[in-house]
Structure 1
Amino acid sequence: MLIYRFLTGDDDSAFCHKVTKALSEGWALHGTPTYAYDGFTKKMKCGQAVTRIAKDQPYDPEKKLVDF
């Protein structure tokens, strides 16, 4: 089963660490990153989709994606 997550955050080093952590846990980049201005907070926001294959596990919507 292919699992999909979309990581988001402010355009700062914390977001880069979030993506790096996901990659170190076996997630792979999926598509291109997104970048947008949040007029409410007056900050740039980043987003990156990541995927991972979870073998021999049925989908369970009650389970956190990081637990697959």
Structure 2
Amino acid sequence: MSAPPDGLPVYRVLTGPDDATFCRRVSEALALGYRLHEGPAVTFNGERVIVAQALLWPGAGDEPAD
């Protein structure tokens, strides 16, 4: 598949509390064919840990820069 399904963008950032729901969202994106882009960003908002994970569709961004 050359493009993500359902009109999804080639680059996505998922964010949310570090919980099972967030992990399921990332797992679902991986199952669709996305790849992790670098490691997650993690912060603490005073109450809970918040995570951001960038995802990239395979082949996106592989073109050489001008």
Question: Do both proteins adopt the same fold according to a TM-score greater than 0.5, normalized to the shorter chain?
Answer: yes
Q: Which runs of 5+ in 1 are unaligned?
A: 56-68
Question: 1:50 corresponds to which residue?
Answer: 55
The amino acid of 2:39's aligned partner reads: T
Structure 1 runs (4+) deviating above 4 angstroms are: none
> Cα offset for 1:3?
1.4
Could you tell me the TM-score, scaled by structure 1's length? Answer: 0.68
Bigger strand share: 1
The amino acid of 2:23's aligned partner reads: C
The amino acid of 2:30's aligned partner reads: L
What value does the CA root-mean-square deviation take over the aligned residues? 2.3
The amino acid of 1:20's aligned partner reads: S
Matched, 1:38 2:62: no
> Cα offset for 1:53?
4.3
Q: State how far apart, in whole Å, the 1-side matches of 2:22 and 2:45 are.
A: 15
Identity %, equivalent residues: 36
> Cα offset for 1:15?
0.7
* Corresponding residue SS for 2:10: strand
